[in-house]
């Protein structure tokens, strides 16, 4: 069930398409979008902050549920046609952020995100939801319904409406609300990411750098690529963060020699060729998109055998040190 400003949103006889349009036009969500756009984007970097916040970051097709007693900020970025989704239990403060990149992951992904946030014993609980990303890829004369973003938003809204749980949509910063245009009419996202301040539940526009996207960013990105060929990992989100222990545990996974060969071929392509072949929205990617791809490919070229990264098939475990930085403490 969907609520907006405490009022049940009508959905019984509405299609997912109609619900998305109605939410985009809802005056409370339009007002919320204007307020969100007025917030300066926060650039999170440990190297520039005198006091490092305990942050958990999720990559594409990942999710993490955090306890506000252990984590101060949770978020994601690098979203163009993807959606950064927040589900928060206002009573417990438990907060989940997922980076959804396809309608195919919504069914299982929503179930995963709800597993530690919902309280099945409390029928009155209303969970706050914030959605940021998924800009309209086409110009106004085009048809945004045919792009990547609209089908994803449609599926998310449909699953929220069908659920027995109560969801209060606070921010609907997607599609036309998250689209700007240059002088030539080319469309771009207004925001690529978000951060949740777990103590208050406040959600703000945010971007991250390498110091806040860890730990093990290259291995986690390789796992995303490898997951497309692994039927056991399809249809849901990837989980690396342990809520109760505030640790990252990257369990062993394999990649084929073919992935390393592909990396070798891609590494010699031009930046433009990389953008056109690796992105659903080449003109809208962030400035470090190509460089991050190259870092992953360089690693695969140097480590074509996954057993080099997971000796004895042990997981890679990361905990915080005294300076709140992620360090590998053991393999288990």
pLDDT tens string 25-40: 999 999 999 999 999 9
Distance (Å, rounded) from C-alpha 114 to C-alpha 92? 13
pLDDT, mean of residues 93-99: 97
Is the residue at 114 inside a domain?
A: yes
Is the residue at 92 inside a domain?
A: yes
Q: With beta carbons less than 8 A apart as the criterion, state whether 35 and 60 touch.
A: no
Judged against a pLDDT cut of 80, whether residue 233 lies above it is answered with no
> CA torsion 324→327→331→332, rounded to 10°?
10
CATH number for 64: 3.30.1330.200
Cα–Cα distances (Å) from 300 to 50, 132, 293, in that order, read 35, 32, 11
Per cent of the chain over pLDDT 90 is 74
Is the residue at 118 inside a domain?
A: yes
Amino acid 50: pLDDT: 43
Number of domains in the chain: 1
Q: With beta carbons less than 8 A apart as the criterion, state whether 81 and 60 touch.
A: no
Judged against a pLDDT cut of 50, whether residue 312 lies above it is answered with yes
Per cent of the chain over pLDDT 70 is 92
Is the residue at 18 inside a domain?
A: yes
Is the residue at 155 inside a domain?
A: yes
User: Which tokens go with 192?
Assistant: 């690529």
Higher pLDDT, 242 or 47: 242
Amino acid 27: pLDDT: 97
pLDDT band per the 50, 70, 90 thresholds, residue 83:
very high
C-alpha closest to that of 170 among 10, 313, 35: 35
Judged against a pLDDT cut of 70, whether residue 41 lies above it is answered with yes
Amino acid 225: pLDDT: 86
Is the residue at 123 inside a domain?
A: yes
Task: Output the average pLDDT for the chain.
Answer: 91
Is the residue at 178 inside a domain?
A: yes
Amino acid 138: pLDDT: 66
Residue 16: which domain range? 7-213
pLDDT, tens digit, for every residue of 107-154? Answer: 999 999 999 998 766 677 899 999 999 999 864 455 556 689 999 999
Encode burial over 149-164: b for 16+ CB neighbours within 10 A, e otherwise.
bbbbbbbbbbbbbebe
pLDDT, tens digit, for every residue of 8-18? Answer: 998 876 789 99
Least confident of 75-84, 209-218, 271-280, 323-332: 323-332
pLDDT, mean of residues 298-314: 93
pLDDT, mean of residues 306-321: 93
Is the residue at 207 inside a domain?
A: yes
């Amino acid at each position: 069930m969907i609520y907006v400003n405490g009022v049940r949103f009508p959905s019984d006889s509405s299609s997912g398409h109609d619900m998305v349009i109605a939410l985009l036009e809802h005056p409370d969500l339009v007002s919320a979008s204007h307020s969100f756009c007025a917030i300066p984007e926060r650039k999170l970097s440990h190297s520039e902050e005198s006091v490092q916040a305990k942050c958990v970051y999720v990559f594409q097709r990942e999710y993490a549920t955090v306890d506000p007693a252990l984590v101060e900020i949770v978020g994601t970025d690098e979203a163009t046609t993807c959606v950064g989704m927040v589900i928060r239990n206002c009573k417990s403060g438990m907060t989940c952020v997922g980076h959804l990149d396809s309608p195919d992951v919504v069914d299982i992904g929503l179930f995963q995100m709800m597993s530690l946030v919902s309280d099945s014993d409390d029928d009155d609980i209303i969970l706050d939801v914030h959605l940021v990303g998924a800009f309209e890829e086409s110009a106004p004369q085009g048809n945004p319904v045919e792009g990547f973003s609209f089908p994803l938003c449609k599926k998310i809204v449909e699953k929220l409406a069908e659920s027995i749980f109560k969801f209060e949509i606070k921010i609907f910063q997607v599609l036309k609300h998250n689209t700007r245009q240059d002088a030539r009419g080319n469309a771009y996202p207004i925001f690529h990411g978000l951060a949740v301040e777990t103590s208050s539940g406040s959600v703000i526009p945010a971007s991250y750098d390498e110091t806040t996207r860890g730990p093990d960013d290259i291995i986690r990105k390789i796992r995303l690529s490898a997951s497309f060929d692994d039927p056991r990992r399809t249809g849901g989100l990837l989980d690396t963060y342990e809520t109760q222990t505030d640790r990252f545990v990257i369990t062993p996974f394999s990649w084929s020699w073919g992935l390393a060969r592909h990396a070798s071929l891609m590494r010699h392509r031009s930046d433009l060729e990389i953008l056109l072949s690796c992105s659903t929205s080449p003109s809208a990617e962030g400035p470090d998109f190509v460089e991050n791809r190259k870092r992953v490919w360089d690693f695969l070229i140097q480590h074509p055998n996954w057993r080099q990264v997971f000796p004895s098939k042990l997981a890679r475990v990361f905990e915080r040190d005294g300076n709140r930085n992620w360090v590998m403490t053991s393999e288990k």
